[in-house]
Structure formats: C-alpha cells, structure tokens
C-alpha cells in the first residue's frame, strides 16, 4: 500500500514514523507496543479509536517534529492536551495523536498576577499553584479538566459572574501554526489570532503556553449547596428566577438536577441543588445574599460555610472518571418563567440514573459585560446556559442516555438563543448533519466567517481539523 490522503500506512509512513521516533525527546507509541491501549484512551469511553501512532511529547520541540511528520505522511492529526474533552477529539482513527499531557509546568508571578501554563496542565494543578498566593484563574466545575481545552472553548465555572470565562482571563498565548511558525498572540500582537484562540476550539494551531491574568481570591471562600426535593422544584425555581435578577457579581450560582451520590443520604431520586461560590472575603455579605433565596425557598437540606477553594473546586471531580461513556449537549437561554420552569421540571423528573444531570449556569456579571464581538465565544447576552449530560460506566445504557440528552435539548430548543458551547457538544456522531454545519450553527454566521478568514491564514490545509471544524476556503 502507498500513503494516501487518509493516511493509509505504507513504507513512506513507516519510515517517517521511525525517523520521528528517533528524534523525539518523548516517545512514539504504535499498535503492538505494551502501552498502546493506555496511550490511545481518551476520557469518553464511547470513543474507541485506534491511532496509527501516539506521540507523547517530552518537550516543545516534539510539537514541531510531530506537525512536520503529519504534513509529510498526510496522516490525520489529533491534538490532546488535558485529555478531558467530551467529544473525543483527542484521538483519531488511523491517524497521528500529539499528546501534550506530560507538559504540565505552571509558573506564577504573584507580583504581577500572571500565570504561565503549559498545555498539558489540568485545572487542579493550576489551582494548587495559584492558591498559595491567594490567586485563582477561573476554570470549570471540575479540576480534572484540562486548561487548554477550557480556554480554547470557553471555561464556564464557579467564578463566571465574578471573573468571566477562562478565555476572558487569557493575557497571551504562544502558538505553533500548521506551517511551523511560532507566534505570540495577545491584544497587541497577532490580535486576530488571539481573538480566534478565545473560543475557536483548536482550529488555528497548537498552543504551547497560556499566560493568564490571575484574580485575587481568598484561600477560603463562602460556598455551599441548597437541596430541594421534587415537590419543591417549581417554587425553588420561581424564587431563583426572581433572586437572580440584580445579583452582586461576587455571587456565582449553578442550578443542578441530579441523583445525589450514594453516601449523601438523600436517596435515589433526583434532587435540585443550588450550588454557589461567593468570590469575596466578606462572608457575612454573601450569607445575606444567600438568605434572600433561602427565605423565599427554604431548602430541604443544605450545607454551606467557609470552604477551602481547592476543596470546593474538587468537589465534583470523582463524578466523571476517565473511561466513562458520556453524552453531552448545551444551549443558552434567558427566560426562566412559568413555561420554561414547567419544561425543566418535567425533563429533570426523567432523570433515572446517577451520572445523568442538567446544569444551568446563571450568567451576566463579568461574563455579560464582555462585548459580543471581543472573542469568538458565541453568545454574551444570554442570562443562563444549560448543560445536559448522560454519563455512566455501563455501556448498556448508552442508547437511553443519548436519548435523554436529545430529549432535553429538543424540549428546550424553543427557548434557546444563538450559539452553542463548542467544548460540550458530545461526539460528532450525535450532532446530526455535517460537522461543518454544526460549526456554523454553534458560532453563528458572523463569528464563523471571521474564524474562516483566520483559518485561511493560519491553517489553509486544514491540518487542525479534528475538532468542531471551521473549514478553510478551498474546502468550503
């Protein structure tokens, strides 16, 4: 066989990979190697791809070597950073995987509140490094997520109203493009590329370093959960809708429908939890804000109080272990009136297994004050963002979980606004239609066109296509 555009292995490919192996500071893993099955695994157990080879980068120089090998062999390329992407874009059938997971350095400059982060770093590692200085970079709801994927797609978590998305706190980035150019991107330098990195989902190159503006945050924050059993859901949601208008930026609440863990003592029925973090050292003021909700909707149970930030960020880490089968979709909306509440209550009542859930992030605050055109993130005007997930270890439940995720998204679609969070869109097989159409819908016409222009400039050959792909001009 000869090498083709689809990367069919031939003598040329084998020689190129042998040469790559000899030059890497890390390692090259191929089928038959003892560590192959472990190296090819990604977080989502639904994805069972068998790459032609996996490069475990040992240093930044391995990135250049791998990109050159992908160009030479024409093997499809997947870039894996923290390895937590739900869509499985960190691997590719028959292709070349660039695994950056061992590049995990974090350097904190506390005087200037800047943090430089290598691309394989997880948020748990970043949080540990910054917390000792009373600093934080906004992340997601779990510490196991990778910094790179969150930053390139969004980053929606426990500090979104007080400090915005993860990508809103990016100061600059170093990028290797498809042709091997090493570029520094910021508001002042390669500003167009910097715009596209913040939300473009890996379409434009490999980021080798992220530099963030860290935020002051007490090592102990006021945080907690208010729990409501099913008979209270309508009243609690109605109270939340009124309470969430005009909240101080320091209050960061998330609505979560799920069956609690077995040891939580709340049974096997789904529960509505209002989780929150208060991003201020004035805990008394935060308690006053929470009391406004508790008085109108007294919870069935609660736990709240001063909590170490690292502990709060890691509270949900064990819920989604690697190898779980995961289905995920999302949508933004702004109404939380009686009609929407009725739909949410009916949908959440259909949760029948642990690992299945519906989260609703309350936005506005710092997130909403970023101008719509400032980044590639698709929507800044929505008041809420819904994430629905079906996650479990037993593959026999895949069809049921996928159907539940589709049902929730379809039922909420009449209330949806423009855009979709590209990092939580699930495997491409579940999106329906062509991936290019999914990208256009997710970003919206104007932002998709702007990303396409950047794609033509920085990746005209579409080397970086194993993502929610924005096609270059020659392929559109």
Tokens 């937590």 map to which residue?
84
**For residue 411, pLDDT beyond 80:** yes
Average pLDDT for 242-252: 97
Average pLDDT for 433-456: 91
- Mean pLDDT across the chain: 93
Say if CB 226 and CB 204 are below 8 A apart.
Answer: no
Q: How much is the pLDDT for 161?
A: 98
CA distances for 451 relative to 193, 396, 443, 445, angstroms: 9, 39, 9, 10
Task: Report the alpha-carbon distance of residue 191 to residue 246 in Å, rounded.
Answer: 34
User: Dihedral angle at the C-alpha atoms of 317, 321, 324, 327, nearest 10 degrees?
Assistant: 20
Which of 41-45, 151-155, 194-198, 361-365 is least confident? 41-45
pLDDT in tens, 80-108: 998 788 888 999 999 999 999 999 999 99
DSSP H helices, 211-300, are 233-243, 283-296
pLDDT band at 10 (very low <50, low <70, confident <90, very high): low
Average pLDDT for 252-262: 94
**For residue 3, pLDDT beyond 80:** no
Task: Report the alpha-carbon distance of residue 184 to residue 213 in Å, rounded.
Answer: 16
Average pLDDT for 294-320: 92
The dihedral sign for the CA sequence 408, 411, 416, 418: positive
Q: How much is the pLDDT for 2?
A: 32
In the chain, CATH 3.30.465.10 sits at 106-217
Nearest alpha carbon to residue 390 among 351, 339, 422, 430: 351
**For residue 400, pLDDT beyond 80:** yes
Domain 220-430 CATH assignment equals 3.40.462.20: yes
Task: Report the alpha-carbon distance of residue 33 to residue 27 in Å, rounded.
Answer: 11
Task: Report the alpha-carbon distance of residue 260 to residue 248 in Å, rounded.
Answer: 29
Average pLDDT for 442-454: 96
**For residue 133, pLDDT beyond 80:** yes
3-state secondary structure 88-152: CCCCCCCCEEEECCCCCCEEEECCCCEEEECCCCEHHHHHHHHHCCCEECCCCCCCCCEHHHHHH
Task: Report the alpha-carbon distance of residue 416 to residue 356 in Å, rounded.
Answer: 21
Nearest alpha carbon to residue 233 among 254, 259, 255: 255
Task: Report the alpha-carbon distance of residue 439 to residue 92 in Å, rounded.
Answer: 19
Which of 92-101, 183-192, 309-318, 352-361 is least confident? 309-318
Q: Which residue has the higher pLDDT, 129 or 142?
A: 129
Average pLDDT for 271-281: 97
Q: How much is the pLDDT for 220?
A: 95
Say if CB 159 and CB 252 are below 8 A apart.
Answer: yes
Question: How would you classify residue 117: left for phi > 0, otherwise alpha for psi between -120 and 50, otherwise beta?
Answer: beta
Share of the chain above pLDDT 70, in %: 96
CATH assignment, 106-217: 3.30.465.10
Class of 11-99 in CATH: alpha beta
Q: How much is the pLDDT for 1?
A: 29
Q: How much is the pLDDT for 391?
A: 87
∠ CA 179-182-184, nearest 5°, is 135
∠ CA 148-203-420, nearest 5°, is 80
pLDDT band at 339 (very low <50, low <70, confident <90, very high): very high
pLDDT band at 5 (very low <50, low <70, confident <90, very high): very low
According to DSSP, residue 315 is labeled T
Average pLDDT for 309-335: 89
pLDDT in tens, 173-197: 999 999 999 999 999 999 999 999 9
Q: How much is the pLDDT for 83?
A: 78
Task: Report the alpha-carbon distance of residue 393 to residue 45 in Å, rounded.
Answer: 8
**For residue 369, pLDDT beyond 80:** yes
**For residue 6, pLDDT beyond 60:** no
Which of 74-78, 316-320, 414-418, 430-434 is least confident? 430-434
- The SS3 of residue 291 is helix
In the chain, CATH 3.40.462.20 sits at 220-430
Q: Which residue has the higher pLDDT, 143 or 386?
A: 386
Q: How much is the pLDDT for 11?
A: 67
Q: How much is the pLDDT for 22?
A: 97
Count of H helices and E strands in the chain?
Answer: 15, 18
pLDDT in tens, 190-224: 999 999 999 999 999 999 999 999 999 999 999 99
Say if CB 88 and CB 49 are below 8 A apart.
Answer: yes
Count Cβ atoms below 10 Å from residue 269 Cβ, excluding itself.
Answer: 12
Average pLDDT for 280-291: 97
Helical axes 435-443 vs 445-458, angle rounded to 10°: 120
Helical axes 338-348 vs 233-243, angle rounded to 10°: 130
∠ CA 299-305-311, nearest 5°, is 110
Q: Which two tokens stand for residue 472?
A: 């270059």
Q: How much is the pLDDT for 429?
A: 59
Sequence-separated (6 or more) residues with CB below 8 Å from residue 50: 31, 40, 93, 94
């Amino acid at each position: 066989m000869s090498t083709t555009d689809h990367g069919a292995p031939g003598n040329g490919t084998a020689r190129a990979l042998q040469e790559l192996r000899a030059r890497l500071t890390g390692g090259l893993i191929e089928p038959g190697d003892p560590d192959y099955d472990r190296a090819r695994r990604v977080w989502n157990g639904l994805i069972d791809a068998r790459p032609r080879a996996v490069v475990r980068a040992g240093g930044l120089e391995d990135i250049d070597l791998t990109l050159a090998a992908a160009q030479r062999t024409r093997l499809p390329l997947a870039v894996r950073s923290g390895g937590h992407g739900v869509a499985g874009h960190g691997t590719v059938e028959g292709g070349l995987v660039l695994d950056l997971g061992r590049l995990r350095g974090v350097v904190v400059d506390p005087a200037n509140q800047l943090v430089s982060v290598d691309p394989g770093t997880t948020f748990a590692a970043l949080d540990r490094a910054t917390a000792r200085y009373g600093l934080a970079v906004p992340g997601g709801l779990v510490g196991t997520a990778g910094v790179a994927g969150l930053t390139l797609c969004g980053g929606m978590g426990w500090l979104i109203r007080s400090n915005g998305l993860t990508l809103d706190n990016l100061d600059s980035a170093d990028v290797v493009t498809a042709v091997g150019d090493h570029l520094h991107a910021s508001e002042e330098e390669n500003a167009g590329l910097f715009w596209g990195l913040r939300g473009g989902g890996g379409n434009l190159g490999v980021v080798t370093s992220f530099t963030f503006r860290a935020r002051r945050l007490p090592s102990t924050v006021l945080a907690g959960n208010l729990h409501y059993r099913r008979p209270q859901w309508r009243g609690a949601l109605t109270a939340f809708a009124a309470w969430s208008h005009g909240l101080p930026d320091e209050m960061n609440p998330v609505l979560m429908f799920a069956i609690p863990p077995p040891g939580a003592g709340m049974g096997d029925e789904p529960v509505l939890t209002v989780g929150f973090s208060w991003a201020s050292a004035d805990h008394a003021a935060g308690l006053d804000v929470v009391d406004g909700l508790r008085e109108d909707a007294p919870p069935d149970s609660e736990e709240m109080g001063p909590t170490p930030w690292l502990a709060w960020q890691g509270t949900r880490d064990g819920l989604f272990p690697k190898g779980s089968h995961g289905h995920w979709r999302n949508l933004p909306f702004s109404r939380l009136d009686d009609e929407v509440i009725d739909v949410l209550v009916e949908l959440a009542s259909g949760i029948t297994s642990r690992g299945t859930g519906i989260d609703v992030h309350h936005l506005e605050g710092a997130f909403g004050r970023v101008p719509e055109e400032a980044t590639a993130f698709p929507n800044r005007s929505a008041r809420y963002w819904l994430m629905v997930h079906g996650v479990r270890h037993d593959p026999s439940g895949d069809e049921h979980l996928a159907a539940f995720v589709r049902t929730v998204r379809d039922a909420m679609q009449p209330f949806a606004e423009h855009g979709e969070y590209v990092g939580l869109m699930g495997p491409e097989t579940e999106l329906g239609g062509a991936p290019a159409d999914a990208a256009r819908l997710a970003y919206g016409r104007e932002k998709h066109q702007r990303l396409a222009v950047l794609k033509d400039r920085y990746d005209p050959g579409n080397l970086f296509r194993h993502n929610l792909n924005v096609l270059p001009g020659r392929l559109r």
